[in-house]
């Protein structure tokens, strides 16, 4: 994959308590806005843009992000990632993200919408120091089709790998192929249409915190199903089934708020774009 539809490289560093960009490079159908500082914590927030409006047949995207020592960074997108009909070759995005000692990264892209005949693959590789903190989430949404079929995409494949000190500590692989799977059945979407995943890695994590999350999330509902699991390193994962993006976003926002208050004694700020 030598030719890229869009490329984005961002190197952020801490300068006297404020996170700034050391290097920024982008070309093609990937861009980044000027940083926003939502509070006085020094954490910078960057909005990633795709001016093309969506991913098409054969599109290839590459991101390389480095968060320097003690730097604090939030990454999000301007809007949903829309994958349209890809009949010849799948659309692909890869990200390599490095977190140095004491760094903090929130990466909260908007939902992935896979339309009819969409074929999409995504790979995220996180390389982090054990003292770094990572919060990552993604949401998969079925797009519109002429027949009204909710699962008309061909393939959605999301792969997340997390390395600490060069060792693979988390491997999360989600592969949905509606034509070959009982996508609505047990073990897959279980009657729901939307799927959200969240990964949190932080050395402040303990089992009692997971118990707190269970207590604040109402599991006795027909609106969604949620599951939480400890990771082999200091952290946890979340899976949510629902029938709307907004329900999953609300659950992730509540988890994020609880982390901000309990671990960092800070207020959660809104990334809302609409």
DSSP 5-57: SEEEEEEEEEETTEEEEEEEEEEES-EEPPPB--SSS--EEEEEE-TT-SB-T
Considering the domain boundaries, does residue 136 fall inside one?
A: yes
Considering the domain boundaries, does residue 248 fall inside one?
A: yes
In whole angstroms, give the CA distance from residue 202 to residue 78: 27
pLDDT at 150: 74
Below-50 pLDDT ranges, the chain: 1
pLDDT at 34: 93
pLDDT at 1: 45
pLDDT at 81: 94
pLDDT at 2: 63
Which H helix or E strand runs over 70? none
pTM: 0.94
CB 225 within 8 A of CB 240: yes
Considering the domain boundaries, does residue 274 fall inside one?
A: no
Question: Could you tell me the sign of the dihedral formed by the alpha carbons of 47, 51, 54, 59, in that order?
Answer: negative
Considering the domain boundaries, does residue 76 fall inside one?
A: yes
CB 151 within 8 A of CB 144: no
Strand 72-77 to strand 91-99: parallel, antiparallel, or no bridges (unpaired)?
A: unpaired
Considering the domain boundaries, does residue 1 fall inside one?
A: no
Considering the domain boundaries, does residue 174 fall inside one?
A: yes
DSSP states of 191-256 as a string?
T-SEEEEEEEE-TT--HHHHHHHHHHS--S-SSEEEEEEE-SSSEEEEEEEESSHHHHHHHHHHHH
Considering the domain boundaries, does residue 269 fall inside one?
A: no
pLDDT at 269: 72
Structural domain including 181 reads 6-264
pLDDT at 272: 61
pLDDT at 143: 84
pLDDT at 113: 95
How many domains does the chain divide into? 1
Q: Write the pLDDT tens digit of every residue in 175-206.
A: 999 888 888 776 788 889 999 999 999 999 98
In whole angstroms, give the CA distance from residue 105 to residue 96: 13
């Amino acid at each position: 994959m030598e030719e890229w539809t869009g490329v984005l490289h961002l190197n952020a560093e801490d300068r006297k308590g404020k996170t700034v960009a050391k290097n920024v490079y982008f070309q093609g159908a990937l861009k980044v806005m000027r940083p926003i500082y939502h509070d006085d914590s020094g954490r910078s927030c960057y909005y990633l843009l795709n001016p093309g409006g969506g991913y098409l047949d054969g599109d290839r995207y590459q991101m390389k992000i480095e968060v320097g020592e003690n730097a604090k960074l939030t990454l999000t997108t301007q809007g949903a990632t829309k994958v349209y009909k890809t009949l010849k070759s799948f659309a692909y995005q890869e990200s390599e993200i490095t977190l140095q000692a004491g760094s903090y990264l929130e990466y909260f892209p908007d939902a992935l919408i896979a339309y009819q005949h969409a074929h999409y693959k995504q790979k995220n590789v996180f390389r982090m120091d054990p003292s770094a903190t990572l919060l990552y989430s993604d949401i998969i949404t079925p797009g519109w089709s002429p027949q009204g079929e909710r699962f008309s995409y061909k393939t959605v494949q999301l792969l997340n790998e997390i390395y600490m000190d060069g060792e693979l500590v988390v491997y999360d692989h989600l592969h949905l192929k509606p034509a070959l799977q009982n996508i609505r059945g047990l073990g897959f979407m279980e009657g729901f249409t939307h799927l959200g995943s969240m990964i949190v890695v932080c050395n402040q994590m303990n089992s009692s915190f997971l118990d707190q999350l269970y207590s604040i999330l109402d599991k006795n509902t027909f609106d969604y199903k949620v599951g939480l699991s400890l990771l082999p390193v200091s952290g946890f994962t979340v899976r949510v089934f629902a029938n709307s993006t907004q329900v999953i976003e609300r659950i992730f926002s509540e988890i994020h708020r609880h982390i901000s208050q309990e671990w960092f004694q800070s207020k959660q700020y809104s990334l809302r774009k609409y």
